[in-house]
Amino acid sequence: MVEKVHRNVLLISERADTIRTVLETLAARGLRGVVVKDAPSACQRLSGREWDLVVADLRTLGNQPAFIRGLREEQPELPIIAVGENSVSSAVGAMLAGCSNYVAEPAGRQELSAALDALLPDHEVSLAEAAEAQSQCLYQIAGKSPAFLNTLKLARKIAPTSMPILITGESGTGKELISYFVHRHSSRAEKPYIRVNCAAISESLLESELFGHERGAFTGAYAQRKGRFERAHGGTLLLDEISETGPRLQAQLLRVLEQQDFERVGGNELVRVNVRVVSTSNRNLVEDVEKGRFRRDLYHRLGGVHLNVPPLRERPEDVEVLTWYFVNMYAREVNRKITLIDPETLEAFSRFSWPGNVRELRNVVRSSLVLGDGPSLRLEDSQQLVEPFQPAPHSAPSAAAPGKKTLSLKELEREAIYEALKQVDSNQTKAARILGITDRTLREKLRRYRQEHSEYQPVGEESWQKVQV
* Amino acid (one-letter) located at 358: V
Q: For residues 133 and 156, what is the distance between their CA atoms, to the nearest angstrom?
A: 18
Higher pLDDT, 286 or 439: 286
The answer as to whether 35 is a domain residue is yes
47 band by pLDDT with thresholds 50, 70 and 90: confident
Angle of CA points 457, 460, 465, to nearest 5°: 50
Instruction: Name residues whose C-beta falls within 8 Å of residue 20's C-beta, 6 or more positions apart in sequence.
Output: none
The domain in which residue 424 lies consists of 393-398+405-466
> What is residue 242's predicted lDDT score, i.e. its pLDDT?
94
> What is residue 215's predicted lDDT score, i.e. its pLDDT?
84
The answer as to whether 219 is a domain residue is yes
Q: Is the pLDDT of residue 460 over 60?
A: no
Q: Using an 8 Å Cβ cutoff, are 7 and 33 in contact?
A: no
Which of 275, 308, 341 corresponds to the end of one domain? Answer: 308
Domain check: are 298 and 343 in the same one? no
Share of the chain above pLDDT 90, in %: 48
Share of the chain above pLDDT 70, in %: 87
Higher pLDDT, 145 or 203: 145
The answer as to whether 416 is a domain residue is yes
Nearest to residue 145, comparing CAs of 131, 126, 168? 126
Q: Kindly report which listed range (206-215, 227-236, 244-253, 403-412) carries the lowest average pLDDT score.
A: 403-412
> What is residue 419's predicted lDDT score, i.e. its pLDDT?
78
The answer as to whether 127 is a domain residue is no
> What is residue 400's predicted lDDT score, i.e. its pLDDT?
39
Instruction: Name residues whose C-beta falls within 8 Å of residue 50's C-beta, 6 or more positions apart in sequence.
Output: 8, 136
Per the structure, how many domains does the chain have?
4
Domain check: are 172 and 299 in the same one? yes
Domain check: are 220 and 157 in the same one? yes
Domain check: are 292 and 419 in the same one? no
Q: Is the pLDDT of residue 458 over 50?
A: no
Q: Is the pLDDT of residue 404 over 50?
A: no
Which of 255, 274, 308 corresponds to the end of one domain? Answer: 308
The answer as to whether 318 is a domain residue is no
Domain check: are 190 and 221 in the same one? yes
CATH code of the domain containing 221: 3.40.50.300
Domain check: are 272 and 362 in the same one? no
Instruction: Round the average pLDDT of the chain to a whole number and report it.
Output: 85
Q: Is the pLDDT of residue 398 over 70?
A: no
Domain check: are 58 and 192 in the same one? no
Average pLDDT, stretch 150-162? 95
pTM of the predicted protein model: 0.75
Predicted confidence (pLDDT) per residue in 55-91, tens digit: 999 999 987 788 899 998 888 889 999 999 888 888 9
> How big is the chain, counted in residues?
469
CATH code of the domain containing 87: 3.40.50.2300
> What is residue 134's predicted lDDT score, i.e. its pLDDT?
64
Q: Using an 8 Å Cβ cutoff, are 262 and 271 in contact?
A: yes
Domain check: are 173 and 219 in the same one? yes
Domain check: are 269 and 198 in the same one? yes
Q: Is the pLDDT of residue 433 over 80?
A: no
269 band by pLDDT with thresholds 50, 70 and 90: confident
> What is residue 322's predicted lDDT score, i.e. its pLDDT?
95
Which of 251, 280, 308 corresponds to the end of one domain? Answer: 308
The answer as to whether 314 is a domain residue is no
Q: Using an 8 Å Cβ cutoff, are 306 and 182 in contact?
A: no
Instruction: Name residues whose C-beta falls within 8 Å of residue 191's C-beta, 6 or more positions apart in sequence.
Output: 233, 234, 235, 236
CATH code of the domain containing 334: 1.10.8.60
Q: Is the pLDDT of residue 163 over 50?
A: yes
Domain check: are 444 and 419 in the same one? yes
The answer as to whether 109 is a domain residue is yes
Predicted confidence (pLDDT) per residue in 111-155, tens digit: 899 999 989 988 888 888 888 776 677 888 999 999 999 999 999
Average pLDDT, stretch 207-235? 87
Q: Using an 8 Å Cβ cutoff, are 288 and 243 in contact?
A: yes
Burial 171-187 (b: 16+ CB within 10 A, else e): bbbbbbebbbbbbbbbe
Q: Is the pLDDT of residue 380 over 90?
A: no
The answer as to whether 140 is a domain residue is no
Q: For residues 94 and 89, what is the distance between their CA atoms, to the nearest angstrom?
A: 9
Domain check: are 337 and 451 in the same one? no
Predicted confidence (pLDDT) per residue in 442-457, tens digit: 887 887 777 665 544 4
Q: Is the pLDDT of residue 465 over 50?
A: no
CATH code of the domain containing 450: 1.10.10.60
Domain check: are 359 and 439 in the same one? no
Instruction: Name residues whose C-beta falls within 8 Å of residue 218's C-beta, 6 or more positions apart in sequence.
Output: 208, 265, 266
User: For residue 147, with 0-12 CB atoms within 10 Å meaning exposed, 13-18 middle and 19 or more buried, which class applies?
Assistant: middle
